[in-house]
């Protein structure tokens, strides 16, 4: 991993190489001009450098070429405003259902017991919503290292049914927002609505910390899923800047090659590709289960 001025930089691409701060959106550059100058002095092999403003800063502050990044965010004033005035009957009823069925929420210390509980959740299935579960089957040390990022800026909140952890979130704080870096619940306890209870606790925590937004991933080309919509997440556009570092970088911006290939595809093509991927993942999981049962 490349480091410039104590900031980790990731580099992606083969022919066209793009560098960016690794820990966005949680750690954004305070002085990009100075940083870019230092980046160029290091001789890092990249054609283009990209960075974003922090979530909540919606007006462009710099003169570099910019385009919007779209995030799924929930604007927050108070927990009561969200619970009583924003969300509808169904999500409110699910929060109450979790409470009535005995789901308890706890702010957790990040220790070995916390890691083991989270491993139990991630190891329930190799798929999450028809997508590969990249944390399935990882060993303890790998999981602890992965979960231990952003020390001092993170909150771990668990949903428990009895002594069993059935869901958890990891909140990472920025200046004006907190992001849901991890949110997952066990499918076996879906009837108890632990994810709804966790979202409610995340909103309450942000309100207590006086944070303006709760961020839950990006606003994809397919919009938001029903779960995010029902909990009143919406699209927030934040400027992302693209700074050519050489002639190839200038060509990338001019020809639109600075954006991912899938962003140039028609929306209908992308929807079809996603549906096909989901079917393939389901087939692969069933095959794995079948082969395991035979053994």
pLDDT digits (tens, 9 = 90+) for 108-152: 999 999 999 999 999 999 888 767 888 999 999 999 999 999 999
From first to last of the 295 residues of the chain, give the pLDDT tens digit.
789 988 999 999 888 999 999 999 999 999 999 999 999 998 889 999 999 999 999 999 999 999 999 999 999 999 999 999 999 999 999 999 999 999 999 999 999 999 999 999 999 998 887 678 889 999 999 999 999 999 999 999 999 999 999 999 999 999 999 999 999 999 999 999 999 999 999 999 999 999 999 999 988 755 567 889 899 999 999 999 999 999 999 999 998 887 765 554 555 544 555 556 556 655 555 555 455 444 5
User: What does the DSSP assignment read for 174-215?
Assistant: -SSEEEEEEEEE-GGGGGG-HHHHHHHHHHHHHHHTT-SEEE
DSSP-assigned letter for residue 5: T
Buried b (16+ CB within 10 A) or exposed e, 102-127: ebebeebebeeebbebbbebbebebb
Q: Which fold has domain 77-211?
A: Aminopeptidase (3.40.630)
d(CA 72, CA 74): 7
Predicted pLDDT at 292: 47
The pair of three-digit structure tokens given for residue 187, joined into one six-digit string? 């499918």
Which residues 6+ apart lie within 8 Å of 215 measured at CB?
A: 25, 55, 71, 72, 73, 74, 177, 178, 179, 180
Domain ranges of the chain: 2-69+238-288, 77-211
d(CA 13, CA 199): 35
Sign of CA dihedral 39, 40, 44, 48: positive
Cα atoms in the 13 Å half-sphere on the side-chain side of 286 = 7
Tens digit of each residue's pLDDT (9 = 90 or more) over 197-226? 999 999 999 999 999 999 999 887 555 678
Sign of CA dihedral 262, 280, 191, 183: negative
d(CA 98, CA 83): 15
Give the other-Cβ count within 10 Å of 58's Cβ.
11
């Amino acid at each position: 991993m490349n480091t410039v001025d104590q900031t980790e930089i990731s580099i992606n691409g083969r022919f066209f190489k793009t560098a960016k701060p690794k820990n966005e959106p949680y750690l954004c550059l305070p002085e990009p001009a100075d940083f870019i100058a230092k980046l160029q002095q290091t001789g890092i092999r990249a054609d283009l450098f990209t960075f974003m403003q922090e979530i909540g800063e919606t007006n462009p502050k710099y003169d570099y070429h910019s385009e919007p990044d779209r995030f799924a965010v929930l604007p927050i004033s108070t927990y009561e405003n969200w619970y009583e005035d924003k969300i509808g009957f169904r999500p409110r009823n699910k929060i109450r259902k979790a409470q009535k069925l005995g789901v308890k929420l706890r702010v957790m210390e990040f220790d070995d017991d916390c890691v083991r509980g989270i491993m139990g959740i991630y190891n329930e299935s190799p798929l999450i919503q028809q997508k590969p579960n990249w944390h399935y089957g990882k060993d303890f040390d790998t999981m602890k290292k992965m979960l231990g990022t952003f020390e001092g800026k993170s909150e771990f909140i668990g949903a428990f049914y009895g002594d069993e952890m059935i869901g958890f979130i990891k909140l990472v704080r920025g200046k004006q927002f907190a992001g849901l870096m991890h949110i997952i619940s066990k499918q076996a306890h879906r009837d108890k609505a632990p994810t709804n209870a966790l979202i409610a606790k995340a909103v309450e925590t942000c309100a207590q910390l006086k944070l303006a937004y709760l961020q839950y991933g990006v606003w994809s080309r397919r919009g938001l899923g029903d779960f995010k919509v029902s909990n009143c997440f919406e699209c927030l556009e934040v400027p992302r800047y693209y700074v050519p570092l050489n002639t190839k970088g200038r060509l990338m911006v001019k020809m639109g090659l600075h954006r991912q290939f899938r962003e140039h595809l028609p929306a209908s093509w992308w929807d079809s590709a996603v549906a096909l991927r989901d079917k393939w993942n389901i087939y692969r999981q069933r095959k794995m289960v079948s082969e395991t049962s035979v053994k």
